[in-house]
């Protein structure tokens, strides 16, 4: 029985190692247990498939641009993002499928404390869904715009640093988020979890199916769009090829940072055309009335640099935030009664 246990340990070791086995062939597997599990490599492309009937769907969490999101149970609490393909034409469906597979392939490469845990995908048309861990806290969006929670400087620093860590990791792995916004950042017990990275293209394809062949700009999206992206969104251009880059993600982070500092939106109360005009021209909201330390204002303006190449990257931002001295909280500007806060 000793040899059986050794073999199964080897198999286990191999399986654990095999998640990246296509990449790394080194390690002590020279005489490898491939003969024990010869179909491992052919299995690996399906390794993340989850049959939808294994997932118990519970209440609906909400509607997003991707489709409906449900709470569910699959070996514990999960979030299930169902893709809505109903209104898509036959040709469009195969396009959505291909994009979906590609984006799932990206998603499953991620393992970071500040990123939502990808658990698997249902890839049997017409049932397409993504299963992730369930985030229990509220989104920053809800904290800031509904609960009007006010975070003190140190907390803002901690949240921003964690976002930079998660985003720095994504970029290092060659993944663009493309939809970084406070609605996609959960915050619970001091911990930040970023969701919905790399799902933008499939979400966009599904939207086009539902709303006709043009890309609408939901108001909540506009605020995060870098000037170079806004310029791609000219009326009449049906399938704009948006010039997303690591630096357009940094621009979006700038807006998240602005929300953290002010609890509101840049250019709030202005009509979308006016916002588009100003951002495309490089006009930024004034920070003159913003109660904040100058270092934070500098970071904000740096992230909102007009030229993409002038914006910092997340690793640099993270390091910068890390080095800022902690503030004493005795005169905390975030106390609800404090009248100096700008909004």
Please tell me whether residue 64 binds ligand ADP under the rule CB under 6 A: yes
Please tell me whether residue 184 binds ligand ADP under the rule CB under 6 A: yes
CB of 137 to ligand ADP, least distance (A): 9
CB of 255 to Mg ion, least distance (A): 15
Q: Name the binder of 66 from Mg ion, ligand ADP, none, CB < 5-8 A by kind.
A: ligand ADP
CA distances from 115 to 118, 235, 255 (A): 9, 34, 19
Which x/- pattern, by CB under 6 A, does the window 235-274 give for ligand ADP? ----------------------------------------
Residue 112, C-beta contacts closer than 8 angstroms, at least 6 positions apart: 165, 166, 169, 170
Cβ proximity to ligand ADP, 85 vs 287, nearer residue: 85
Cβ proximity to ligand ADP, 106 vs 195, nearer residue: 195
Cβ proximity to ligand ADP, 221 vs 291, nearer residue: 221
Residues 196-215 interacting with ligand ADP (rule: CB under 6 A) = 196
Residues 65-94 interacting with ligand ADP (rule: CB under 6 A) = 65-66, 69, 79
Q: Which stretch binds ligand ADP (CB under 6 A): 8-16, 51-59, 60-68, 286-294?
A: 60-68
Residue from 18, 106, 110, 195 touching ligand ADP (CB under 6 A): that is 195
CB of 335 to ligand ADP, least distance (A): 28
Residues 147-206 interacting with Mg ion (rule: CB under 5 A) = 184, 196
Instruction: Decide: 247 and 308 in contact? Cβ < 8 Å.
Output: yes
Q: Name the binder of 79 from Mg ion, ligand ADP, none, CB < 5-8 A by kind.
A: ligand ADP
**Which entry of 179, 232, 298, 310 is annotated as an active-site residue?**
179
Centre a 10 Å sphere on the Cβ of residue 203 and count the other Cβ atoms it contains.
21
Residue 71, C-beta contacts closer than 8 angstroms, at least 6 positions apart: 57, 58, 59, 60, 61, 77, 78, 79, 80, 134
Cβ proximity to ligand ADP, 252 vs 287, nearer residue: 252
Q: Name the binder of 251 from Mg ion, ligand ADP, none, CB < 5-8 A by kind.
A: none
Bridge partners of 258? none
179 is catalytic: yes
Q: Name the binder of 228 from Mg ion, ligand ADP, none, CB < 5-8 A by kind.
A: none
Q: Name the binder of 61 from Mg ion, ligand ADP, none, CB < 5-8 A by kind.
A: ligand ADP
Residue 117, C-beta contacts closer than 8 angstroms, at least 6 positions apart: 132, 133
State the first-to-last Cα distance of the chain, in angstroms, to the nearest integer: 71
Centre a 10 Å sphere on the Cβ of residue 312 and count the other Cβ atoms it contains.
18
CA distances from 212 to 87, 206, 207, 216 (A): 10, 10, 8, 10
List residues with catalytic annotation: 179
Which residues contact Mg ion (rule: CB under 5 A)?
184, 196
């Amino acid at each position: 029985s000793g040899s059986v246990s050794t073999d199964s340990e080897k198999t286990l070791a191999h399986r654990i190692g095999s998640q990246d086995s296509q990449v790394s062939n080194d390690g002590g597997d020279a005489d490898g247990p491939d003969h024990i599990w010869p179909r491992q490599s052919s299995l690996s492309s399906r390794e993340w498939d989850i049959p939808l009937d294994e997932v118990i769907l519970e209440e609906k969490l909400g509607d997003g641009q991707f489709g409906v999101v449900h709470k569910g149970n699959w070996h514990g609490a999960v979030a299930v993002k169902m893709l809505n393909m109903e209104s898509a034409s036959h040709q469009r469906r195969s396009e959505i499928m291909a994009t979906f597979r590609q984006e799932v392939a990206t998603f499953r490469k991620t393992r970071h404390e500040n990123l939502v845990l990808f658990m698997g995908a249902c890839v049997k048309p017409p049932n397409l869904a993504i299963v992730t861990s369930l985030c229990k806290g509220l989104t920053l969006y809800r904290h800031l715009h509904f609960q009007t929670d006010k975070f003190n400087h140190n907390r803002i620093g901690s949240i921003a640093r964690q976002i930079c860590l998660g985003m720095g990791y994504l970029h290092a792995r060659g993944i663009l988020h493309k939809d970084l916004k406070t609605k996609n950042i959960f915050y619970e017990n001091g911990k930040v979890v970023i969701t919905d990275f790399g799902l933008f293209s499939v979400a966009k394809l599904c939207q086009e199916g539902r709303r006709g062949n043009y890309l609408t700009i939901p108001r909540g999206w506009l605020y995060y769009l870098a000037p170079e992206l806004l310029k791609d969104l000219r009326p009449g251009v049906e399938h704009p090829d948006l010039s997303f880059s690591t630096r357009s993600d940094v621009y979006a982070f700038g807006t998240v940072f602005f929300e953290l500092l002010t609890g509101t939106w840049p250019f709030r109360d202005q009509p979308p055309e006016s916002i588009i005009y100003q951002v495309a021209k490089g006009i930024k909201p004034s920070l003159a009335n913003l109660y904040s330390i100058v270092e934070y204002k500098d970071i904000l303006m740096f992230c909102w640099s007009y030229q993409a190449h002038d914006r910092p990257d997340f690793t640099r931002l993270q390091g910068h935030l890390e080095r800022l001295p902690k503030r004493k909280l005795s005169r905390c500007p975030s106390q609800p009664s404090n009248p100096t806060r700008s909004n």
